[in-house]
Amino acid sequence: MEFKFERIVTDRTADDKSVFADEGPIPAETVLGIDFLKLWGTGEGVPEVSAGGNAKSTYEPFFPGPGGTRFMICTFPPEATTGDAAALAEAERQQPGGIGGVFEGDDPGMHVTDSVDYGILLDGELVLELDDGAERRITPGTCVVQRGTRHAWRNRSGKPATMAYIYIAAERKPA
């Protein structure tokens, strides 16, 4: 199934009338072979829904700080390579605070983020691998709640796989 992703953002005017503030296609940003559609992001702290044309998104840094959120669509190519040092450095240059800084060079694709991630596979097939080698096959409609654990997404299907994510920054507590 092929999707044409578009974003519609609403806001309120200074006199509190609901309006469409922004809409249209979102350009893909490709990092380490993965296509990212950055749909919306909020900064650190409590997100605001104030009136008067303040509907603004942020994706700097890529992963949100405390209280921040990110909403994105990712398309993983088959067997993406995500590990050598030069590729990770370039990824960090392209996407400050992003996957280049969290992906492990000695175990490609494995990473940990201080966030609660909600994901739903829209198309294709992925494998979710945890740090002990345990794996689960993810098919369209499968929802994943990732709670700050070390993991990797593997696309072994031979076809692209598309997943929607919402990241919510979290505070890591000791075990």
Closest CA to 95 of 140, 172, 34: 34
Residue 163 has pLDDT above 80, yes or no: yes
121: burial class by Cβ within 10 Å (0-12, 13-18, 19+)?
buried
Cα torsion angle, 159, 156, 76, 149, sign? positive
For 164, the enclosing helix (H) or strand (E) is strand 161-169
Query: Could you identify the residue written with the tokens 């796989």?
Result: 161
Contact criterion met (CB below 8 Å) for 143 and 123: no
**What tens digit of pLDDT does each residue of 78-93 get?**
976 556 677 777 878 8
**What tens digit of pLDDT does each residue of 126-152 get?**
999 999 999 999 999 999 999 999 999
Q: Taking the chain, what is the end-to-end CA distance rounded to the nearest angstrom?
A: 41
The domain spans of the chain are: 8-169
**8-169, which class in CATH?**
mainly beta
Alpha carbons 34 and 172: distance in angstroms, whole number: 27
**What tens digit of pLDDT does each residue of 2-40 get?**
778 999 999 988 888 999 988 999 999 998 888 999 999
